[in-house]
Amino acid sequence: MLIKKLTLLGLLSGCLLVTPVFAQSSSGESVITVPSIPVGGAVSLGGTVVPYKDVTFSAQIPGRVKSIAGEEGDHFEEGAELIAIDDDDLLAQRRAAWANLANAEAALRNAGVQYSREWISPYGGQSNDMMGGMSSLMRNFSNPMQSFTDSSSPGFDRYAQRYQYGTQVEQARSQLIAARSKIEEIDTKLRDAKSVAPFDGVITKKLVEVGDPVQPGQPLLKYADMSILQIKVEVPARLMPGVKKGMVFNARLDVGNVDVQARVVQIFPIADPDRHTVTVKMELPQGAPGGAGMYAEVMINDINAKVRDMPVVPRNALVWRGSLPGIYVMEDDNKRTLRLVRIGDEVGADGVAVLSGLRAGERIVVPAGDTAGSAGTWQ
């Protein structure tokens, strides 16, 4: 007969905690009757282990994947080249842009020479005046308004010529600036053709292979810092009064059901408007088993919860189907049925409260060699 010992632990956060101690079975699985025990004060929430930092590299230019530095799990230091896109077309464009720059510089020099020559040796007919032609002075006397209104006068021609050469200088200068800007644009694209590690980390997933054609915006590679792991959990808004940055909560990892303590390091400022939950990240201790993407459970305090009688089962009676816990229940016809349940507080060292899916008084199956005795009721 199964023997259960109840030890009064005390009053904690307004909740009376009672610890069941299960008797060991020598051999064979056991069928026990689920008791009802006063439980309250915490809720078990499922979360996911995530890396401390992660980034997804996307293509910035069209082309083909030229090289990938390694495979999933390979470690790289900050600044290492991770993935590169073929840049032959860009290099050809850069050479053409440098040629255009040289032409623009030559055009600017020529325009500058012509403009300077016009100022130093202006175009005009002063020599004809000195060789017996009508002097400018005489023309001014014969037609005093011509120098101001006649567009064919030497002064007007010199002004028009200077203006033209000045315009050519400005145009050549603009072409030079445009050529330099084109080179800078191509250099930026050449830098975008290569993705380098922003921090020490590992490749977590390759999304393309060498030779694949890519377009701007297409994901190429996932990279993460796995030196520190965190649990990302969606906490119902009603539980947030009991969650503050720096607080430590009990957590259970899906790797051998290892119990650890997780410290709150980040609380997102806005709740999900559809699910009414707040994203919380908790840092795992160094050396915690498992890796990113694994399932974890976190016990979150519910400061508004009242103590209530709930069914409690041995933790090793749980049967996991992926991330969902279940329990084998003995029906009235003595046939076992796997029933999915939602679990809550841990009770003692080896018990867990069942929030839904199971009632007190029902019979469940406990595997051999675990904390259960023969069929019976906890007393």
CATH number at residue 297: 2.40.50.100
Residues 274 and 207 in one domain: yes
Highest mean pLDDT among 222-226, 321-325, 368-372 belongs to 222-226
110 versus 20: the higher-pLDDT residue is 110
Question: Please, what is the end-to-end C-alpha distance for the chain in angstroms?
Answer: 10
Number of domains, the chain: 3
- 58's enclosing H/E stretch is strand 42-58
Residues 209 and 292 in one domain: yes
Domain that holds residue 135: 89-192
Residues 77 and 220 in one domain: yes
Residues 183 and 264 in one domain: no
**CATH at residue 34:** 2.40.420.20
136, 157, 192 - which closes a domain: 192
C-alpha to C-alpha distance for 203 and 347, rounded to whole angstroms: 40
Place of tokens 């609380």: 267
Highest mean pLDDT among 13-22, 166-175, 272-281 belongs to 272-281
What is the distance of C-alpha 64 from the center of its chain? 24
C-alpha to C-alpha distance for 291 and 266, rounded to whole angstroms: 19
Residues 202 and 188 in one domain: no
CB 249 within 8 A of CB 267: no
pLDDT digits (tens, 9 = 90+) for 206-240: 999 999 999 989 999 999 999 899 999 999 998 89
303, 324, 356 - which closes a domain: 303
Q: pLDDT at position 115, please? A: 64
Residues 117 and 206 in one domain: no
Residues 298 and 358 in one domain: no
Residues 375 and 324 in one domain: yes
Residues 11 and 100 in one domain: no
Residues 55 and 179 in one domain: no
171, 192, 213 - which closes a domain: 192
Q: pLDDT at position 224, please? A: 94
pTM for the model stands at 0.53
